[in-house]
């Protein structure tokens, strides 16, 4: 149960790490969370990875969604939150490497893909959506940290 709790929080920590890297304001946050939801909905459709499918089955329940909420970020600065999230993703990677065998690589690639989608969801900088960049330097750094934590390229 404790190990599953680590895994089920992976999507949340991934989203938080990207969002904390470059806060996008209320509209940007909504776009980023919508992008995360879209990736999770695609995973729910199946065919990607058995471990991801099991996680999505758990997240389909109210108890699973409650257990998936990352904890330990309250009261921290965006930089500290990103650090906590990356550390949690390192735990995820170590756990799946030790226990998931052939499903480990596919599982680790999934939150990395989620991170990419979240980073690309809202423009950073600019004014009212005019100007700015799709993925700014802070988000690129967060993506690199996430990839390194998970042991995959992002």
> If you search the block for the tokens 């890297």, which residue do you land on?
21
Separation of alpha carbons 85 and 49, rounded Å: 23
Residue 141: its pLDDT value, please?
Answer: 92
Average confidence (pLDDT) over 70-81: 88
Query: Which tokens is 121 given?
Result: 């969801």
Q: Has residue 126 got a pLDDT over 60? A: no
Q: How confident is the model at residue 118 (pLDDT cuts 50, 70, 90)?
A: confident
Q: In the predicted model, what is the mean pLDDT of the chain? A: 85
The confidence band for 97, taking pLDDT boundaries of 50, 70 and 90, is: very high
Is 133 in a helix, a strand, or coil?
strand
Please compute the mean of the pLDDT values over residues 8-18 and round it to a whole number: 91
User: 126: exposed, middle or buried (C-beta count within 10 Å: 0-12, 13-18, 19+)?
Assistant: exposed
Write the pLDDT tens digit of every residue in 17-47.
988 887 666 667 777 777 777 877 777 766 6
CA dihedral in degrees (114, 62, 97, 22; nearest 10)? Answer: 30
Inform me whether the pLDDT recorded for 89 exceeds 60: yes
User: If you search the block for the tokens 């690199």, which residue do you land on?
Assistant: 144
Name the pLDDT band for 152 (thresholds 50, 70, 90).
very high
Residue 110 clears pLDDT 70, i.e. is over it: yes
Phi, psi values for residue 133, rounded to 5°: -125, 150
pLDDT band of 146, cuts 50, 70, 90: very high
Residue 120 has pLDDT above 60, yes or no: yes
Partners of 10 in the β-ladder: none
pLDDT of residue 46: 65
Q: pTM of the entire structure?
A: 0.82
């Amino acid at each position: 149960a404790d190990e599953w709790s680590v895994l089920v929080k992976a999507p949340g920590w991934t989203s938080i790490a990207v969002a904390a890297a470059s806060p996008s304001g209320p509209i940007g946050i909504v776009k980023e969370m919508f992008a995360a939801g879209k990736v999770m909905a695609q995973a729910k459709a199946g065919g990607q990875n058995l471990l991801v499918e099991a996680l999505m089955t758990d997240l389909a329940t109210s108890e699973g969604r409650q257990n998936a909420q990352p904890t330990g970020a309250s009261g921290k600065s965006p930089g500290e939150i990103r650090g906590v999230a990356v550390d949690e993703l390192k735990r995820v990677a170590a756990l799946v490497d030790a226990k998931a065998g052939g499903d480990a690589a596919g599982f680790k690639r999934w939150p990395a893909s989620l991170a990419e989608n979240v980073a690309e969801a809202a423009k950073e900088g600019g004014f009212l959506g005019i100007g700015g960049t799709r993925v700014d330097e802070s988000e690129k750094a967060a993506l690199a940290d996430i990839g390194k934590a998970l042991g995959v390229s992002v």
